[in-house]
Copies of this chain bind each other. A is one copy, B any other.
Amino acid sequence: MFESAELGHKIDKQTYKKEVPILREALLDAQLELLQSARFPVIILISGVDGAGKGETVNILNEWMDPRHIRTHALDEPSDEELDRPVMWRYWRVLPPKGKIGILFRSWYSTPINNYLQGPSKNSELDQQLERINRFEKMLADEGALILKFWLHLSKEKQKIRLKTLEKDPKTRWRVTPRDWKNFKIYDRFHSVAESVLRRSSTSEAPWTIIEGSDPRYRYLAVGKAVLQALRARLDTAEIRQPHVTSPPVMPHIDTTSVLKRLDLSLSLGKNKYENELEKYQAKLNLLTRHGNFRNISVVILFEGSDAAGKGGSIRRITGAMDARMYHIIPVAAPTEEERAQPYLWRFWRHMPRHGHLAIFDRSWYGRVLVERIEGYCSQADWMRAYSEINDFEEQLVRHKTVIVKYWLSISKDEQLRRFQEREKTGFKHFKITEDDWRNREKWEQYELAVCDMIDRTSTEIAPWTLVEANDKNYARIKVLKTLCEAIENAL
C-alpha cells in the first residue's frame, strides 16, 4: 500500500517554480467557482506520520487558495464541551458549509488509531470505530460532500532522518517533541495499524490518497494537484444525483389496521385526578433532575404530532417542573440558510445537550420522513436513507448515555377540526392557525401512513416511540410526564 510512497519522489526547484503559479491560478479559479455555485462542501483530511509535513501542507493550501473561504481545524485533545457529547459531535461542529473548504488536521481517524496503539482499544473496538466512520463518510457523500483524504507517508528511515534534521536546526527544533520520538519507536506497529485502517476506509465514496512526504516540493505539488483534479472533476459535472432504484422501504399497507388506528382516543382524565397527578409527576421529575447521577446523563425529548395535537402544552408541563438553566427548547421550523448548507442532521447535532442537561425538540429530525417526504421537499432516496441515518444518530446518543424520549401525540381528524375552529374563534389563539394547517389536513391519510412507517423503522429498543392518545389534553399531558419520569429513572 505504501510502495509508491517510498520511492523518494522528488521535484526539482525549476519545475516547481514553473508549475506553482499555474496550479495556484487554477486552484483559485476552482475555489471561486465552488464558492459561487455553493453546490457542495469540500472536506480535506490531512493525516499521516509525524514529520511528513502535515502542518506545512495545510499551510501551503491556505497560501495557494483564498484562506477566507477555508476553515482549518487542528483537532487535538477533545475539550470538556466535546467530551460531554458523543464522539462524532466535535466533527459535526466543524463541517464546512456548501461552497467552502474545510481542512482537518488530525481527523476522525486520529483517535481510533491512537487509542489502539496506546492500548485501551482492542481490535474489535477499532473495527466498530471504523464502521462508524465509514457510515459517517457515506452520509457526507450522500449529502453531496467532496471528501479528500490524504495520508502523508515517510519510510522508517526517512522519518528518522527528518526528525534529526528538524532537531539540528535551531529554528525548527521546537517542532520535534519527545512524543515524536516515542512514536518513532513504535513505527512498525503504527505502520501496520495505519495500513489496515487505510485499507478498510478506502471506500468508493472517500478513498485515501497516499503521498510521500519527504520532499516538500513533491508533497505540495502532489496534494495541490490532487485537490485541483478532484475539484475540477466535480465542478465540471452537471449535478446528476439519480440514485439507484431500490426496493421501497415501506411496509405494504394491505389492511386497515395500523398502530395509530389501534389507539383508544377516548381515554381521558377528570380535572381533579389530572391536578393530583400533575403535581405528583412534576414533583417527581424535579427530584429526578436533581439526582446526583443526573450529571452523568443527558436527556433528549422530542415531540411529533399532527397540527394542534397539543405539543406546546405538553412541553410547558415538563419545563414547569424544572430549573430553566437545565434545559433548552428547540422549536424546529424551516432550516436557516446556514443549516441548508449542511448535511441534514447537522441542525440537530448542534443542539445536543451536555451531560446534566435536557433538550426538548418541538418537532425534530423526523421531519425528514414526515413533512419532507409527503411534501416532496427531498427525494425519495433522501428520506429512505434517513431511517438508517437517524437510527445511527440515536444509537450514538444512547451510547453516550443520552436518554431519548420520543412522543407521537395522536388526535383524531374530528378533534383536529374542533381545535382548528376553536383557535380561529379565540383571539389569542388565532395566530396559531394558518393556511398551511388546513392544507396539511387534506393529506391526513398520507401522513398517517408516513407515521406508521416511521414508527416501524425507528422505534427501537434503545430509543422507542411513545404513542400518546391526545384527544384529551389532560390524559396526554400526564402520560407524557409519567413516561418521561420512568425513562429518566431507568437511566439513573
A residues bordering B, Cβ < 8 Å? 1, 3-5, 7-11, 122, 124-125, 127-128, 131, 141, 146-148, 192, 195-196, 199-200, 202-207, 209-211, 218, 221-222, 225-226, 229-230, 233-234, 237, 240-242, 244-249, 251-252, 254-255, 257-259, 262, 381, 384-385, 387-388, 391, 452, 455-461, 465
Contacts and interface: CB of A to CB of B under 8 A. Distances in A.
Given A128-B124, A257-B9, A251 B4 contact: yes
Given A252-B226, A461-B196, A8 B257 contact: yes
Contact of A391 (B148, B199, B221, B262): B199
21 contacts: A1-B457, A1-B458, A1-B461, A3-B459, A5-B456, A7-B258, A9-B257, A124-B124, A127-B127, A127-B131, A192-B461, A196-B460, A202-B249, A202-B387, A207-B384, A207-B388, A207-B457, A209-B252, A225-B252, A226-B248, A237-B245
A195 B464 CA distance: 12
Given A1-B460, A461-B195, A248 B221 contact: no
A222 B254 contact: yes
Given A7-B262, A247-B147, A257-B9, A252 B387 contact: no
A246 B205 contact: yes
Nearest to A192: B461
Q: Which of A200, A244, A460, A461 is most buried by chain B, counting CB atoms within 10 A of its CB? A: A244
Given A242-B242, A248-B233, A1 B456 contact: yes
Contacts of A147: 246-247
A4 B452 contact: yes
Closest 6 CB pairs of A and B: A124-B124, A204-B385, A230-B247, A207-B249, A225-B252, A226-B252
Contacts of A225: 252, 254
B204 A384 contact: yes
Contact of A202 (B1, B148, B457): B457
A206 B259 contact: no
A244 B145 CA distance: 10
- Copies of this chain assembled into the complex: 2
A222 B254 CA distance: 7
B203 A388 contact: yes
B251 A245 contact: no
Contacts of A209: 247, 249, 251-252
A248 B231 CA distance: 10
Contacts of A7: 257-259, 262
Contact of A455 (B3, B222, B237, B246): B3
Nearest to A7: B257
Contact of A388 (B202, B211, B230, B455): B202
A127 B218 CA distance: 41
A205 to B, nearest CB: 6
A141 B244 contact: yes
B207 A387 contact: yes
Contacts of A255: 9-11, 218
Contacts of A204: 246, 249, 381, 384-385, 387-388
Given A202-B249, A204-B246, A242-B242, 18 more contacts: A3-B459, A9-B255, A124-B125, A124-B127, A127-B131, A192-B461, A199-B391, A199-B460, A202-B387, A206-B246, A207-B247, A207-B457, A209-B247, A221-B254, A225-B252, A226-B251, A233-B245, A241-B244
Contact of A254 (B11, B230, B251, B452): B11
Nearest to A201: B388
Contact of A247 (B8, B206, B257): B206
A17 to B, nearest CB: 15
A4 to B, nearest CB: 5
A385 B125 CA distance: 25
A455 to B, nearest CB: 6
A171 B272 CA distance: 59
A254 B218 contact: yes
A128 B125 CA distance: 10
A208 B178 CA distance: 52
Nearest to A381: B204
Nearest to A231: B247
A295 to B, nearest CB: 27
A279 to B, nearest CB: 32
A252 B234 contact: no
A252 B388 contact: no
A168 B162 CA distance: 80
A131 B200 CA distance: 11
Contacts of A141: 244, 246
